[in-house]
Structure 1
Amino acid sequence: MSTRFELEAPDGGTFEDDPLALVPGTKRRKPRPRLQAALASVSRIAGYRMDGTGLGWVSVGVGVAFSGALLLRLFVSGAIGLSDQGDGQRLTCGLGLRAGNAYNTPVDDLVYTTYFDHRWYGEDCPWNTYGQPYNSSQLYLLQLAKWLTPLLRLPGDMDLRALGVVCALVLGVLAALMFVWIPGSLVGKGFVVTGVWLIVADATFAGYFVSAYSDTGAILGVLALMVAALALWRAEQVHWWHVAVIAAIALFTATTKTQAATYAVVAVPLMLSRRVGAQKHGKRYFLQGRWFALAASGGLIAAVGQYLRTQPARFGELNQYNAVFVEMLPHSKNPEQDLVRLGLDPTLISGSGSRINSANSVTELPGYQGFLDKTSTWDLFSQVYLHEPFRLLSMMGRGLVGMARLRVDYIYSYPWYSGRPDTLEWRVSLFYQVWRMMFSSLPLLIIVLTLASCLAFVIVLKVCTTQEDRSVGAVGLFLAVAALAQFWAVNLSEGASDLIKHLMLTDFTTGLVLILGAYSVIVLRSSVIREKGTSR
């Protein structure tokens, strides 16, 4: 039996591995036909785990393509966005801006992308918080859009199309980093990045990038958390800045809106999941290498807690009113008993199904006194739902139906100059169509597929031996827990009030979970094959 090897010829070719080929005058191997060589190159690239400069340039190209395709999706054939149902005005008036609509005309049927400087007075800014400023990290993105507006030669003092450009560029950077840190071949990396693009570019989510809604920053934050978690779990040695970046991104995400605070809570076990610095051999205790992560977690929770405390009191009252009179009482078999358990006057049952500004609102009744002190989310959970835990199952069912709907039909897509009021845009809707096809008639399948993905993540963590492969399982589990926490935050806080819209972030995170769940099967198969090849 002879050993096969190749030697490099002086002119860059290779000699036959037969020893006679080294004898002067012998012929070298004939070049393969071009088609065969091209197919071999494609096959090699598909299974090649690139490192260094090669992967860097490919990832830059992926990021540019991601941003460019998203910009085309947002602006070619006319810009699209989201009409303002009132939530956007809470933010823009805080920047001293007003939409460019004519006086006394609605802004909820068309998108007004151009905003002008305006001096607001008293309770007009914003109207639904009685003049108290609404805080959100989304304001940083809007400030950046305001600064970019004149540079992009857009009209007004701020144009939301500049925000769309900002979001496309940020998402391009995240896509490039994701391409670098997702393990596997170029084809596998491309599968994940393409799946993410189909989600963010879908008609369900794309409009947020040209809107004043705080959900825009939340979407960017969730993707950034996913990428930062990949970096943390891929690293052979974790540094303090891995943890610091996750804490900063989690803080930005959690402060986009109050319901997104769950992402800060879920980020804590993520930061504590790995030890910082080189670890010595021998017996180790849990806190070894985790002191920085513990301090960062404490700072994160304290900062988010302060953010929640500084929100307008009127805004908190709106949420608590909805949680009781829109979600809890209409779905209760004994609503009077629920009120008694909360220490409230049973006569407030007359407000069941009402909103705070409805004609049958109970805010003016004497029994409403002390309502805010007795109806926090913890009060509702401990005093009502723990006594009847099966009610949580019916709440979960309503939430799953809301998730299966995916997109609301009362927030519209086209700008005022399009002449298309009250119209939804569907130019890219593959994710929506697949989601509706799978879940519209059987919402419970959302839980089934999410649990199946979690099982795949656990198996990847148990079976795969390389740190880069295990990162898919760890990040997938983090996103699954984040989706679950966000789901219950929405249902327990406001519930049936605007449920489909409020579940948007849950839908988005779940979409990422399902993509990683599918990809984890590929990673697991590749890891097993690689291990079998190594053991031979």
Structure 2
Amino acid sequence: MRKPRIEDLRPSRLPVTVLAAAVGAGSAVLLMLRLFVPRPVGVADNYDGVRLMCHLGVDVRLPRNTPRLRDYVYYRYDHLAHFSCQRHALGTIRLPDVPYRSSQLLVLYAARGLTRVLGLPGYLDLRAVGIVCCLLIGAAVGLLYRVATLRHRYRLLVCAAVVAVVADTVFIDYAVSPFSEIASVIGLLYVAVGVLMLAGPSRRRRLAGIAVTGVSGLFLATAKTQNVPAVLPLALVLLAPAVPVVSAAPERLTQLAGLLRLHALRGLDRRLRHRLTGLVAVVVMAAGAFAVSGNEDKRTAQLTEANFVSVTLLPTSAHPQRDLAEFGAPAWLAQYAGAPPWCAPTALQDSAGYQKFTKSLSHQRILGFFLNHPTRLLPVLDTVAGYFYEPRPTATLCGVGPHGTQVMVLPRLGNYTHLAHTPRGLQDHRWSPVTDALGLLRGFGMGTLLLLWLVPAAAVTAVRRRRALRGVGALLGLLLAVAVTQFGASAFADGIDTAKHLDLAVLATALAWVFAAVEVLAALTTRGARDETGVASIPRPATQPESEPVR
């Protein structure tokens, strides 16, 4: 009888911390090779990057006879004397009134120091930003290997899959750009690590998980204004240990009440300290997120809401004039359905009717419109889902349309420099598994997107493993919640640059599929090995000698 093979649970003879460091370093090196070999890639500026870069007092240095900024990537930024975010014009480009506040500034300041260490030209080189981002992502992948409660082979598999997803052109290329999307990528990866730590076996690891989730959640929520809704699912995860259990022992509650009466801090119950730690993390994260989101001035908020009405809502309407009348908007805005209002002539934008319309707009009024017309919600979601299936960032322009009107044009931002006679707006296609997979769904609507969110959740639930439902299941729920909330924020918060704003929702969806696939694979192989071991351990009956034939 063949003895069943008992698999060693140890990943190797090396300590797990050493293996995690090796995985993290290898991931960072692979991402650097992806960014810089054979040619560096990034994301060109759409003339909006200065709202972030102005905090460092820098401007991109363009050579003479330079083509349009959005067609090529430029690395070098030089420091300008007396230049700050209070200046509302840069050359002939008029800047918005309010600059961006983002956690990406921490990455930029670190890259400023690396620029000096490496001797790169200029005050800030975006290639140094790319290196810093690769190191941070590599460290997140190494931590993921360290805290994942999987066998060695499955830890390597999930880390490799995460690196493969992040290396897609719609994610890693932002590392060399004047945008803050890469901060969202970094923050979400560390949030995933923190959530897995929250499901750890020891109290010390769970407390560390609260700290990691809180800090990384703050970094994620403050990366972009569209990320603020992600605070809600993050708060639910952090406060989950704070939910009191009804079946708790009465003596524990009595002891806790006595301690509170005596005001003895040393005797506080460990569970209460755990709850208070999570509550403090939520308060800090929420305060930081709303401080960033509250930075937008009223004029910019009104323009954003007007963009949503004209770009997203009107093209889905069978009676645009009726909708405009309900919003109190001028009738001429129907001629610019599908285009931002700033495509209209300046005289129309300065008219009293349009100014009254923008001042009366608010998120509450838009919500009331959909409450009165619930059937209008699905066409809007279908339109925004179309951007989800084409996640490459674009610039929003106004082109010549029929009858002398202006229409919205969405050229894609370039990924290469202008060197070596590179064509304008050349796209990076060297590694784009997520982009290509979503491209196969182009033309489908919101129903298909719902399936993309429901299938991973259903797969992990079908596994029915207690550890999976507690660890990976919680992470999967968080990722899907982040994807849904960020999709909603991008759908109804603005009508332009929607594909770029959906970047976090696309990443969260892709990571949900990765963790669900690895978890299902680990469950099926473990179950198969257990069944094989059980069959092999059943003793076979002794063979009986054949009876002699009866004569």
The bucket for the TM-score relative to the shorter chain is: 0.7 to 0.9
Distance in 2 separating the partners of 1:441 and 1:398: 10
Match of 1:492 in 2: 492
The alpha-carbon deviation at position 348 of structure 1 amounts to 5.0
- Asked whether the 8 Å contact 1:125–1:132 carries over to 2, the reply is no
Letter in 2 for 1:491: A
> Are residue 252 (structure 1) and residue 237 (structure 2) matched?
no
Bigger drift between 116-125 and 319-328 goes to 116-125
Distance 1:161 1:124 in 2: 26
Q: 1:325·1:352 contact (CA, 8 Å) conserved in 2?
A: yes
Q: 1:72 aligns with which of 33, 49, 57?
A: 33
| Partner in structure 2 of residue 216 of structure 1 | 182
Matched, 1:398 2:383: yes
Does structure 2 retain, via aligned residues, the 8 Å contact 1:490–1:503?
yes
TM-score (structure 1 length as normaliser): 0.82
Partner Cα distance (1:183, 1:486) in 2: 29
C-alpha deviations, 1:367-423, integer Å up to 9, x for none?
A: 233445532333212x21122222221122122222112324611111233431321
Query: How many Å apart are 1:364 and its aligned residue?
Result: 1.0
Letter in 1 for 2:140: L
Q: Residue type of the partner of 1:407?
A: R
Kindly tell me: are residues 386 and 278 of structure 1, through their superposed partners in 2, closer, same or farther at Cα, counting changes over 3 Å? closer
C-alpha distance in 1, partners of 2:227/2:317? Answer: 27
Task: Go from structure 1 to structure 2 and tell me whether the alpha carbon gap of 1:434 and 1:220 turns closer, same or farther (over 3 Å shift).
Answer: same
Aligned residue type for 1:518: A
Aligned to 2:465: 464
Alignment partner, residue 376 of structure 1:
362
Question: Structure 1 residues 119-128 or 294-303, which shifts more?
Answer: 119-128
Q: CA deviation at 1:359?
A: 2.9
Residues 333 and 294 from structure 1, CA distance in 2 versus in 1: closer, same or farther, beyond 3 angstroms? farther
Matches within 5 A, 1:509-528: 509-525=508-524, 528=527
Aligned to 2:311: 326
Cα offset for 1:280?
Answer: 10
Contact 2:46 2:69 in 1 (8 A): yes
Query: Which moved further from structure 2: 274-283 or 106-115?
Result: 274-283
Q: Is the 8 A contact 1:81 1:208 kept in 2?
A: yes
TM-score by length of 2: 0.80
Mapped partners of 1:72, 1:143: distance in 2: 23
Identity of aligned residues (%): 27
Tell me which residue corresponds to 1:25: none
Q: Distance in 1 between matches of 2:338 and 2:505?
A: 25
User: Are 2:336 and 2:343, in contact at CA under 8 Å, matched by a contact in 1?
Assistant: no
SS in 2 for 1:218: helix
Q: 1:305 to 1:346 in 2, by over 3 A?
A: farther
Distance in 1, matches of 2:249 and 2:359, equals: 52
Q: Which runs of 5+ in 1 are unaligned?
A: 5-39
Which letter does structure 2 place at the counterpart of 1:464?
R
- Equivalent of 2:426, from 391, 411, 423? 423
Aligned-residue offset at 1:430: 3.1
1:316 has 2:286 as partner: no
2:412 maps to what in 1? 410
Deviation of the 1:274 alpha carbon: 2.2
Matched residue, 1:9: none
Contact residue 42 and residue 173 of structure 2 kept, 8 A: yes
Structure 2 residue aligned with 1:476:
476
Counterparts of 1:279 and 1:359 in 2: how far apart (Å)? 61
Q: Does residue 118 of structure 1 match 2:121?
A: no
**Structure 2 residue aligned with 1:364:** 350
1:290 corresponds to which letter in structure 2? Answer: R
Distance verdict in 2 for CA 1:450–1:534, change over 3 Å: farther
In structure 2, give the amino acid aligned to 1:293: G
Question: Does structure 1 retain, via aligned residues, the 8 Å contact 2:162–2:511?
Answer: yes
Query: Following TM superposition, by how much is the alpha carbon of 1:69 offset from its aligned partner in structure 2, in angstroms?
Result: 0.8
Q: Counterparts of 1:224-235 in structure 2 under 5 Å? A: 224-235=190-201
Q: Which moved more, 1:54-63 or 1:156-165?
A: 54-63
Aligned-pair CA distance for 1:128: 5.5
SS in 2 for 1:414: coil
- Match of 1:98, SS state, is strand
